[in-house]
Amino acid sequence: MSPTGTRTPARMADGRELFYFDDPGRPDRVPPPDTRDLPAVQTGSTMRFDVLTGEWVTVAAHRMDRTFLPPADHCPLCPTRPGREPSEIPADEYDVVVFENRFPSFALAPAVDVPAGVDSAVDGNPLWPQRPAVGRCEVVCFTSDHDAAFAHLPTERVRTVIGAWADRTAELSAVPGIAQVFPFENRGLEIGVTLQHPHGQIYAYPFVTPRTAQLLDRAAEHRRQTGRDLFQDVLDGERKAGTRVVLEGTHWTAYVPAAARWPVEAHLVPHRAAPDLAALTDDERAELAELYPDLLRRLERFFGEDTVSVDPRPPYIAGWHQAPVHTGRDLTRLHLQLFSLRRAPGKLKYLAGSESGVGAWIVDTTAERIAQRLRDAAA
């Protein structure tokens, strides 16, 4: 048995891949069969190029019919147990599970029926290139406990999740045509989450996403002008100033960026220029398993009426930005961006005309105040 746990592959009834990631010390797993009678997954996803922005827009009309807020006893992410209908996970218990999404925005054959014969341009006009949305979308279930939260998982389980992220990052990065791998968690109804079970997703894109492309452009320009690493300079500057640092370890620092856009936003950055989760050392993973849940718990307390009160389900997005697979791996580094749309208990920040219309952000507080409140929210 590996000291970092085990990975056991399986297949779902419709051919999709599923992986069980078990905590260290578990006996070898024998995956039970998926007894459901499922039709093949079909997608009609295409990508259209926006000539005005230089960005790809994915059209995934089939996702209109995906599962939406089922009752807990019909949750498709809970284990399959006596007295309830079979779920997406055939086993009656699990630690961490990763499987191909049944309603993917991006998909690969053979488990999914990927559309063929897509016209190379919309209306036959080369102004608007078009192609199939070939990639991969996976679901990551953090625990079999429907009522749990990532912030309160035991450290050993968080390490198993980190191991699963790293495993999938490495494997998906080796798939031909994949340009970027993005693990993330959406939490809360306000974010648009349709399943309440603790879970995240991993998207393997066939293109470099707009935010990452922008980061690479800025990092390349900084290197041209100074000869230095932009991410290292930012990290060094935040640690030196200290006013926006939330927590700091031997290998990681969490800080509120100086130009934070969201009501609550924090970045968790490794001190070493690791390109992705798969490149982390054992020591870096071990410390991450301690600091990341700590940061999430501070977010819970941030929205309490005082530093003791806790909101157990604050809405947030936690995204792991990783270096692209084939380009710019020396210009950027792995980092977490954690942010919430909530600006106060019961109040959301709605993107107004300035933000939504032209991307010019206007914020209601300072990064220094956000950082101080997160520091005060320590357990």
Q: Establish whether 199 is a catalytic residue.
A: yes
Residue 63 CB neighbours (<10 A): 17
Cα separation, 18 vs 31, whole angstroms: 10
Asked if residues 47 and 129 have their Cβ atoms less than 8 Å apart, the reply is no
Residue 195 CB neighbours (<10 A): 18
DSSP codes joined into one string, 268-327? EEESS---SGGG--HHHHHHHHHHHHHHHHHHHHHTSSSSS---SS--EEEEEE---SSS
Q: Look-up: residue for tokens 């950082």? A: 371
Catalytic residue among 62, 74, 146, 199: 199
Alpha helices in 129-229 (DSSP H): 155-173, 210-226
| Nearest residue to 374 via CA among 303, 291, 287, 269 | 303
* The two structure tokens encoding residue 44: 């009609």
What sign does the CA torsion over 290, 296, 299, 304 have?
negative
Asked if residues 14 and 111 have their Cβ atoms less than 8 Å apart, the reply is yes
Catalytic residues: 199
